[in-house]
Chains A and B, each alone.
Chain A
Amino acid sequence: MSEFNQATSKTNNPVRLPRPNASSKPSIVRIVGTGDGIVMRIGDQDGRWSDIVRVLAGHLAKAEGFFQGERVAIEIGARLLSADDLQQIADVLAGYNIAIWAVRTSNPETRRMVQDIGLAAEGMDGSQEGQPASTGKNERARWEVHLGQRNQAAPAVKPHSEFQPPQAIADAIADQAIDQAERTEAVSPGPPKPETTGRPAFGSPAAEAEAIHQTEDTDDTTDPEVILAPPYIFRGTLRSGQVFRHAGTIMLIGDVNPGAEVISGGDIFVWGRLRGIVHAGAMGNERAVVCAIDFEPIQLRIAGYIAMSPKAVSNEPGRWFWRRNAVEKPEVARVMGKQIVVDVWDRE
Chain B
Amino acid sequence: MAGVVLTVTSGKGGVGKTTTSANLGTALAMAGQRVVVVDADLGLRNLDIVMGLESRIVYTVVDVIEDRCPLHQALIRDKRVGELYLLPASQTRDKDAVTPDQMMTICQELQEIADYVLIDSPAGIEAGFRNAVAPATEVLIVTTPEVSALRDADKVIYLLERDVGIEPRLIINRYNPRLVRRGDMLNSKDILDILSIDLLGIVPDDDNIVISTNKGRPIALEPEVYVSRAYHNIAQRILGYNVPLLRFQEVSWWERFRRMLGL
* Cα separation A266 to B130 with both chains bound (whole Å): 37
Residue of A nearest to B158 (CB): A239
Instruction: Flag if B196 contacts A237 (CB, 8 Å).
Output: yes
Residues in B with CB closer than 8 Å to A7 are: none
Q: Mostly helix, strand, loop or mixed at chain A's interface?
A: loop
- Size of the A side of the interface (Cβ < 8 Å), in residues, is 23
Stretch binding the partner chain, chosen from A129-137, A142-150, A207-215, A252-260: A252-260
Instruction: Flag if A240 contacts B163 (CB, 8 Å).
Output: no
Decide yes or no: A259 and B126 within 8 Å by CB, A177-B163, A322-B147 being known contacts.
no
A89 to chain B, nearest CB (A): 32
A328 to chain B, nearest CB (A): 14
- Size of the B side of the interface (Cβ < 8 Å), in residues, is 21
Instruction: Flag if A239 contacts B155 (CB, 8 Å).
Output: yes
> Which residues of chain B in 157-192 are interfacial with respect to chain A, using CB atoms and an 8 Å cutoff?
157-159, 161-163, 186, 190-191
* Cα separation A130 to B158 with both chains bound (whole Å): 39
Decide yes or no: A323 and B190 within 8 Å by CB, A240-B158, A255-B196 being known contacts.
yes
* Cα separation A181 to B155 with both chains bound (whole Å): 11
* Cα separation A180 to B130 with both chains bound (whole Å): 13
Q: Mostly helix, strand, loop or mixed at chain B's interface?
A: helix
* Cα separation A338 to B190 with both chains bound (whole Å): 36
Instruction: Flag if B126 contacts A257 (CB, 8 Å).
Output: no
* Cα separation A28 to B57 with both chains bound (whole Å): 71
> Which residues of chain A in 224-258 are interfacial with respect to chain B, using CB atoms and an 8 Å cutoff?
237, 239-242, 255, 257-258
Residue A190 CB within 8 A of the other chain: yes
Residues in B with CB closer than 8 Å to A178 are: 125, 130, 159, 163
Residues in A with CB closer than 8 Å to B130 are: 178
Instruction: Flag if A259 contacts B155 (CB, 8 Å).
Output: yes
Residue B80 CB within 8 A of the other chain: no
Instruction: Flag if B159 contacts A257 (CB, 8 Å).
Output: no
B88 to chain A, nearest CB (A): 26
Residues in B with CB closer than 8 Å to A273 are: 193
* Cα separation A241 to B153 with both chains bound (whole Å): 11
Residue of A nearest to B196 (CB): A237
Instruction: Flag if B190 contacts A182 (CB, 8 Å).
Output: no
Residue A318 CB within 8 A of the other chain: yes
Q: Give 22 A-B contacts (CB < 8 Å), ordered by A residue.
A: A177-B163, A178-B130, A181-B162, A181-B163, A182-B125, A182-B126, A189-B162, A190-B161, A239-B154, A240-B151, A240-B155, A241-B155, A242-B158, A257-B154, A258-B147, A259-B154, A275-B194, A318-B147, A319-B147, A321-B147, A322-B150, A324-B190
Interface residues of A (CB under 8 A from B): 177-178, 181-182, 189-190, 237, 239-242, 255, 257-259, 273, 275, 318-319, 321-324
Closest 6 interchain pairs by CB?
A239-B158, A240-B154, A241-B155, A240-B155, A190-B162, A239-B154
